[in-house]
A and B are shown apart, each in its own frame.
Chain A
Amino acid sequence: MTSSSPNTLFPFNADRWLAFVTRTCALFSAIIVLLVVTFLALESWPAIQHVGFGRFVTDASWHPLSGLFNLIPMIVGTALTTIGSLFIAVPLGIGSAVFGCFYAPPRLAGFHRRSVELLAGVPSVVFGLWGLVVLVPLLAPLGGSGQSLFAATLVLGLMIVPTIALTSQSALQAVPSQLISGAAALGLQRWVIVWRIALPAGKSGIKTGLLLATCRAMGETMAVLMLAGNVAKMPDSIVSPIRTLTTNVALEMGYATSEHRAILFVSGLVLMSVVCIVILLMDFAGGWKNG
């Protein structure tokens, strides 16, 4: 990089000033995360103090206005939708990445990648609207109103496909081409190259994508809010309505006061800590790469 000498003509040193201002801004950008964590913690403190974590699992049900705060149905809802959506999105996403890297004719590969990027850019509220207008009437014959665990999981799965597809494709493209051409020179079938060489070699990048997709699925609010039916009870079948931690916040934040409000912040804090842990784990695995 260039080095700067003190400017002898002006007492005002523009370089130092620039460094100072930009560093201050960088610090400020970094502090936002701390600010978020601090405010979530501050706001959820009354709930932790007066209600305590125990009652989030031991209370009879979720009736916040009568002082019953059982969060288990919401936690189960979040877990079920997240896991279910991964089951849908992982094969589709990795399949799409493999297609883009190894199977598609070059022109089609470009088109396919642009489509996936477009799908990644579709706002979650539009996914929710589509699910509500198109998918829910189609699923209604299965039982219930159609707004169900199944509908939410299905749309959530489609939403996180692009995340997995794009990160897996970058990971596969980063596999050294010597490995691939070496394998091809040995006369391997294409699917053997993909399955035995490319996918194992790109494993860490694909894992990163899966973790990011998990974070996204857990944190998704709008699409789930519009499709899950939002009943705060344990689901007893795949077509029964459910409520997740995020939609619980979105539904009740408008009128929640005191402890009830604080509990909503606790769910926010829980989501935030899970995300932090995932990102830090990824860092730990990546060994401060990219820094």
Chain B
Amino acid sequence: MADADSVVQPQVVCASSTSSSMGDRATFRDGTVSRDGPMSRGAAMSRAGATFRDRATFRDSAKFRTVGVRVKESVATAIVWAAAGLIVAVLGWILADIFLKGVSEVSLSYLWNDMEDAGRGGGILPIIVSTLAILMVTLATSIPLSLATAIALTEHTRDLSTAGRLVRRSLDVLAAVPSIVFGLFGNAFFCIVLGLGYSIWSGGFTLACMALPIMIRTTEQAIRAVPDEYRYASAALGMSRSTTMFRIILPAAAPGLAAGLVLGIGRALAETAALIFTSGYVTRMPESLSDSGRALSVHIYDLAMNVPGGNARSCAAAIVLVALLLMLNLLSAMLTRYVGQKTGTSMFERNDG
């Protein structure tokens, strides 16, 4: 950049922009960043060390420069707003469409009756019972495991530093494993090696493996969010570590723990691919946990793909599922807000370890 224009005089820049007092980010949400086109461009270059694509503008008149910059600024604003708007629109479109197509089928008797004609008639009671049974197995396995793992990772980390890292790494990998791979694993391990067959047990255990990483992470964050002063005070009173844990820290972290639990339930409810080959898709009312049972999400898939004329029914089941998830989402948001008020931290901030 040999242009004389591109040499910035910092003093001038400061003098010209002190009036707008840029204290923090909020200041320029109001849209008055600067009118100082060429200066700002030169400064941008020196600040970020980047090269300029459009030198030509520098040679143009001051008025034209300002107009060009304004046009670019408004184009950028339009693009960003469009991207954000599109996402919200898609969400609205999906929810509205599913709702409109299925709402005529949803009623109390739909939730309460047995299924008829491969799902084209009757209700979804067996599906709901199977879903809850699978969820119960999942939670009964993953709650103790995630709680214990989180305690080990937070309260005994110093002794475990290398091991602790390894545990976290493996949980990170576990969180990213595709659900169909969990389905394969569940089929090979729970159904065949452990001899559980296509059953609610197999499905529940497979989902427990899937929900574990997110539950451990949220539990860990909830425990970490408890102020250290609680621990010091407890130690000063001569309480043992385990007493501190169960009487002080876990009660204080309870809303955060509940929020983690809700997230885990949400993940388990939304899952389909891992369940097809573990809990199966038998539509009978399950008599015990060793029976195969069809989960709500599998039911949606089966009606849409394998039952001709099942689309409206499938949408109805999707309404039930989405309504459940929305309620859980709301619950989790409320709990999180409560935690935030209590400890002054957000539990979903990442990298706070």
- A interface residue numbers (CB < 8 A to B): 1-5, 7, 14-15, 17-19, 21-36, 39-40, 42-43, 91-92, 94-96, 98-106, 112, 114-119, 121-130, 132-134, 158, 161-162, 165, 170, 174, 177, 180-197, 200, 212, 215-216, 218-222, 225-226, 246, 249-250, 253-254, 264-265, 268, 271-272, 275-276, 278-280, 283, 288-291
Contacts and interface: CB of A to CB of B under 8 A. Distances in A.
Contacts of A27: 163, 167
A290 B224 CA distance: 13
Interface of B: 10, 13-14, 16-18, 22-29, 31, 33-34, 36-37, 39-41, 43-44, 47-48, 50, 69, 72-73, 76-77, 79-84, 86-88, 90-91, 93-94, 97-98, 101, 144-146, 148-149, 151-153, 155-156, 158-160, 163-174, 176-185, 187-189, 193, 209, 212, 216, 231-232, 234-235, 240-245, 266, 269-273, 276-277, 297-298, 300-301, 304-305, 311, 314-315, 318, 321-322, 325-326, 329, 333, 349-351, 353
Contact of B40 (A35, A174, A186, A279): A186
Given A123-B269, A275-B176, A290-B353, A264 B184 contact: yes
Contacts of A182: 47
Nearest to B30: A105
Given A119-B87, A219-B179, A226 B304 contact: yes
Nearest to A22: B152
Contacts of B277: 253-254
A196 B153 contact: no
A196 B47 contact: yes
B181 A43 contact: no
Contact of A219 (B153, B177, B187): B177
A42 to B, nearest CB: 8
A98 B77 CA distance: 10
Given A39-B189, A187-B13, A189-B33, A92 B25 contact: no
Contacts of B22: 181, 184-185
Nearest to A31: B170
Which of B149, B168, B184, B266: most chain A CB closer than 10 A?
A: B184
A112 B84 contact: yes
Nearest to A24: B148
* 9 nearest A-B pairs in the assembled complex, by CB-CB distance: A219-B178, A95-B83, A25-B148, A123-B270, A187-B34, A191-B76, A2-B235, A99-B84, A22-B152
A115 B76 CA distance: 22
Contact of B76 (A7, A21, A190): A190
A130 B40 contact: no
B325 A123 contact: yes
A99 B181 contact: no
B24 to A, nearest CB: 6
A133 to B, nearest CB: 5
A189 B185 contact: no
Given A2-B232, A221-B178, A115 B91 contact: yes
